[in-house]
Structure 1
Amino acid sequence: MSDKVRTRFAPSPTGYMHIGNLRTALFEYLIAKHEGGDFLLRIEDTDQARQVEGATEIIYQTLRQVGLNWDEGPDIGGDFGPYVQSERLPMYKGYAEELIKTGHAHYCFCSEEDIEAQRKEAESLGISFKFDDPCKHLSDEEIQQRIAAGEPYVIRQTISNVGETSFDDLVYGHIDFDGDLLDEQILLKSDGFPTYNFANIIDDHTMNVTHVVRGNEYLSSTPKYNLIYDAYGWKRPTYVHVPPVMKDDKHKLSKRNGDASFQDLVAKGYLPEAIINYIALLGWAPATEQEIYTLDELVDVFDVSRISRSPAIFDIEKLTWMNGVYLRGMDEQKYFETVAPYLEKAVKGPYSHKEIAKIIQPRIDVLNQIEEAVDFFDHPGDYDLEMYRHKKMKSNPEIALTSLKAAKAALEQITDWTEENVHETLLALPKEMGLKNGQVLWPVRTAITGKQFTPGGAIEIAFILGKDETLRRIEDGISRLEAAAASAH
């Protein structure tokens, strides 16, 4: 086996990319690249029943979006292909038969009913179930007769008198296991397809994979895998078992429970680079307080010994914060290109999308917040006049009416409608009127947006709306306040 570090991401094409899956791919990529090694992509499609049309394309697309480019794989080839399990089928049967010859596997003709009967018997006796396969005791002659008669069979691992067994894991350390508790797993199914447990051993060895990274739920299966490595006389890989990504203290993240996949998060307006940065920190801690990393920086600092043994909780609020940091860190042009599709959908009026992008950049954390944040440009809110009452701004409907009239008169005098001129005009009013800034700006913002919360203040928004539309909306605010005052008397 090569000294070069080689890791593999081996997903099944069964749908969207789950966050836990993507984190495993990321850790595998970082382990390989930190050591200058190779990152392989292998498609494990032996479970034909669960395959989803187009799922392989989703795997390619997701890995490319987050920058996890593979060195070998089904689409680009390599020296150890094919990289799709269903294209490697003839190989598995040969390897399984080799184990039969050495006494480490056997033919099993038992039906599901036979196994179920044993399970029920164990339950009735109150003991834990471990299938005791009677087919282990069949003679070679009887086996050949039954195969020749077309009787369906599987090839099952043979495990006997193992005793204490152990292995080392880079996350969980040294692990001892009672080998006599291991169940004899199926290696080759009756349809000729290998099980996941068998195929991944053969593939990892024949592809020179040095480090196997997977979820900690496979810790208890690893002794069975090791028996197969040992049976062939192969070197065991280095194991890296990672803790699960959880929704909360008790529940794993799961698409079935409606938890977001990578595709869902992107559709909700999270950036691929923010997602990959965030999931790197799920169950792994850098040596410093730094939280924002490019992929190249992660490659530099990644250290397997800093992977936690504890489950990681997926915190959408933390991801949202991090996404906001990424959005605010973009240069003006890149930010505009990123938000342009959202602005085109949200603002159809004759307003500068570039200027709108400037006011939302400091205030938007997720791209899907844009539409609701800027919808007032086309459709000012049908607001309650009580919105003019603001304790902190020391405003109320009476003060608002006075301020709006003064603002209208002052803004009408502007001949060159620039942000600077709007700024000077509106900020001169409070001093002239003996009011606080908020007592003028809050009523203007309320009148021109109809919303309590907006990205940008009265000055920025008035500049973008333009003179005519700003005056029209202020006039409407004045009319409504006057009508309310009249009806109150």
Structure 2
Amino acid sequence: MKVRTRFAPSPTGYIHVGNVRSALYPYLVARQSKGDFILRIEDTDQARFVDGAEDMVLDTLRWLGLEWDEGPINLSTEEGKYGPYHQTQRKNIYLEWAQKMVDEGLAYADPYTVEQVQAFREEAKANKKAFLYRNYRPENPPEWKVGMPLRFKTPVIKRYSWNDAVMGELSAGEEALDDFVIIKADGLPTYNFAHIIDDYEMGITHIIRGSEYVASTPKYLSLYEALNIEPPILAHVPHILAPSGNKKLGKRDGAKSVTEYREEGILPEAMINFLAQLGWNDGTEQEIFTLEELIDKFSLDRVQKSGARFDEQRLLWLNGQWIRRLDFEDLYARCQPFWGSEAKDSEEGYKKQVLGIVYDRLKTLKDLPEASGYFFKIKDTNLEMISTNKQLKKIEKNRLIELLEISIKKLESIDSWNEENIQLTLNQLLEETKEKPAVIFQLIRICLTWASFSPALNQTLAVIGRENSINRLNISLEDIKNNL
């Protein structure tokens, strides 16, 4: 049987890292087996519907390179023979199945009011028993019609055992089974019903989702059995935990949407690499994985059972690694939205020169303005950078002025302004001044850039150019004379 997996998000808010991992694992399973990856929009919870959320899902998956074989192309177009791929458009399918269940005695109209159900709960509590709806089934339920809640009538109360492709052998007793709503009063299905019908009708072979659904699995198995449907392979992946490691990652723990990470300059390759390893490893020391390598190496039996701690510092480290792995022209193209305003009117050739010496210091693309701004515009003098520098604060003002004057004169004497000749000149300065690199090089670097960090001094001088470099150093010299 051809492998068919699915990602079935609800358009109820932003798409977060847990959502993406729930898409990534089934994507990898499908691609590894040359199967199909289906995108289905579970939009029956109209009360929580968020305008624009579906567009965000589609855009995020495309950004990550997780292209689907069947599903929505945009908000108005779908592709695939098992559609529609929006649950709200499949309403008649659910109602047909529901009516069939009513006819076969597998479902009943729920006649109770909220007050009656609350009374049942209190009665169970008074008797020190768990409240189970099946213990209060109406003897003569009314005829069901759309507008009334419809409940699954659990036909067999027994213990269920099953094999989970991640969690292993699991089981649950009779207390896990109950009569649950399958069609709501608004005529739309509940998740518990719709996903089972959709997965069956769409030929889904693997259901890969979060471990929070393990507790509901016995109910699903009961429904599969009642409908005479062979359950797909079930795989429940561990929670993504907060950085503290003691609870599920949430907004209060700083969890951000994938869109935010994208806007902050995280590369899709790094995000995929990071999320794949949140709960999975291939048993080796390898840390950097391309999507192709993940497709080749991923397996559900290597997914851990326990939660995986979210470590944003590791994401930043991986992002830095991927920035350095990209083809330079590709990296330059991706940097275009991230250049600061100072670089706006600069020529492409100059921006490429700048990127060529700063990219290996970037953790994210959003770091680019800070890492490169001084190449495009002279920064304001900040003499505190000298007075607080570990080495320079020990040197008297007159000596600093002398060192800077000697440096400017020496740099002016360079015939051919390039990295090699600049470095030779800098080395000569060390010999002539008898100062350490931490003194003379730091002094030139600070007076040239007024930045907290910069690339190698000879590279920085070479890119800024002779005239601009000398001009900047002279401006700084006057500021030191007058204000330090």
TM-score (norm 1): 0.91
Q: For residues 9 and 348 of structure 1, do their structure 2 counterparts lie closer, same or farther at Cα, with a shift above 3 Å needed? A: closer
**Which residue is equivalent to 1:223?**
218
Q: Does 1:243 align with 2:241?
A: no
- Per-residue CA deviation, residues 225-281 of structure 1 (Å, 9 max, x unaligned), is 111111121111110011111123233223466511111100111011110111000
- Per-residue CA deviation, residues 127-161 of structure 1 (Å, 9 max, x unaligned), is 4333356453116xxx23xx58x9x5211011255
Q: Does 1:187 align with 2:182?
A: yes
**Which residue is equivalent to 2:51?**
53
* Partner SS, residue 45 of structure 1: coil
**Which residue is equivalent to 1:25?**
23
Q: Does 1:469 align with 2:468?
A: yes
- Per-residue CA deviation, residues 26-65 of structure 1 (Å, 9 max, x unaligned), is 0001111212211111111111111111222211111111
CA distance in 2: counterparts of 1:220 and 1:62, whole angstroms: 30
- Offset, 1:9: 0.7
* Partner SS, residue 176 of structure 1: strand
**Which residue is equivalent to 1:207?**
202
Structure 1 contact 400–439 (Cα < 8 Å) conserved: no
Structure 1 contact 74–81 (Cα < 8 Å) conserved: no
Q: Does 1:232 align with 2:227?
A: yes
* Partner SS, residue 360 of structure 2: coil
TM-score (norm 2): 0.91
Please tell me the residue identity of whatever aligns with 1:280: A
CA distance in 1: counterparts of 2:103 and 2:384, whole angstroms: 87
CA distance in 2: counterparts of 1:342 and 1:427, whole angstroms: 36
Q: For residues 318 and 281 of structure 1, do their structure 2 counterparts lie closer, same or farther at Cα, with a shift above 3 Å needed? A: same
Structure 1 residue runs of 5 or longer lacking an equivalent are none
CA distance in 1: counterparts of 2:202 and 2:390, whole angstroms: 69
CA distance in 2: counterparts of 1:187 and 1:412, whole angstroms: 82
**Deviation larger for 396-405 or 367-376:** 396-405
* Partner SS, residue 90 of structure 1: helix
Partner of residue 153 from structure 1, selected from 118, 136, 148: 148
Q: Does 1:448 align with 2:444?
A: no
- Offset, 1:478: 2.4
Structure 1 contact 17–59 (Cα < 8 Å) conserved: yes
Structure 1 contact 24–214 (Cα < 8 Å) conserved: yes
Please tell me the residue identity of whatever aligns with 1:195: T
CA distance in 1: counterparts of 2:384 and 2:89, whole angstroms: 70
* Partner SS, residue 10 of structure 2: coil
Structure 2 contact 378–472 (Cα < 8 Å) conserved: no
- Offset, 1:10: 0.8
Alignment map for 1:79-228 (pairs within 5 Å)? 79-123=81-125, 126-132=128-134, 134-138=136-140, 143-144=142-143, 152-159=147-154, 161-228=156-223
**Deviation larger for 224-233 or 459-468:** 459-468
- Offset, 1:283: 0.5
Structure 1 contact 388–443 (Cα < 8 Å) conserved: no
* Partner SS, residue 266 of structure 2: coil
**Deviation larger for 368-377 or 32-41:** 368-377
**Which residue is equivalent to 1:265?**
261
Structure 1 contact 381–449 (Cα < 8 Å) conserved: no
CA distance in 1: counterparts of 2:395 and 2:326, whole angstroms: 39
Q: For residues 472 and 18 of structure 1, do their structure 2 counterparts lie closer, same or farther at Cα, with a shift above 3 Å needed? A: same
Partner of residue 326 from structure 1, selected from 322, 327, 341: 322
**Which residue is equivalent to 1:301?**
297
Structure 2 residue runs of 5 or longer lacking an equivalent are none
**Deviation larger for 217-226 or 115-124:** 115-124
Please tell me the residue identity of whatever aligns with 2:7: F
Q: For residues 443 and 392 of structure 1, do their structure 2 counterparts lie closer, same or farther at Cα, with a shift above 3 Å needed? A: closer
- Offset, 1:296: 1.1
Please tell me the residue identity of whatever aligns with 2:315: L
**Which residue is equivalent to 1:407?**
407
